[in-house]
Amino acid sequence: MPNIGVVGTIDGWSSEKLAEKTGYRLLIDLEKVSLDLASGSAW
């Protein structure tokens, strides 16, 4: 099974609940993600 990360709000109930359901529990803080629309990349 692949590892799945959830992009959401740390301590947000829906993000935390969804991250728990993946079995891998990787929650990526939405406030720390940048999106470059021109290149289609996120970091």
* Binned average pLDDT, 10 residues per bin, the chain of 43 residues: 87 91 90 94 91
Look at residue 27 in the predicted model and tell me its pLDDT.
93
With tokens 């970091």, the residue in question is 43
Distance, CA of 17 to CA of 29 (rounded, Å): 14
What predicted TM-score, i.e. pTM, was given to this entire model? 0.66
Q: Which amino acid is at 22?
A: T
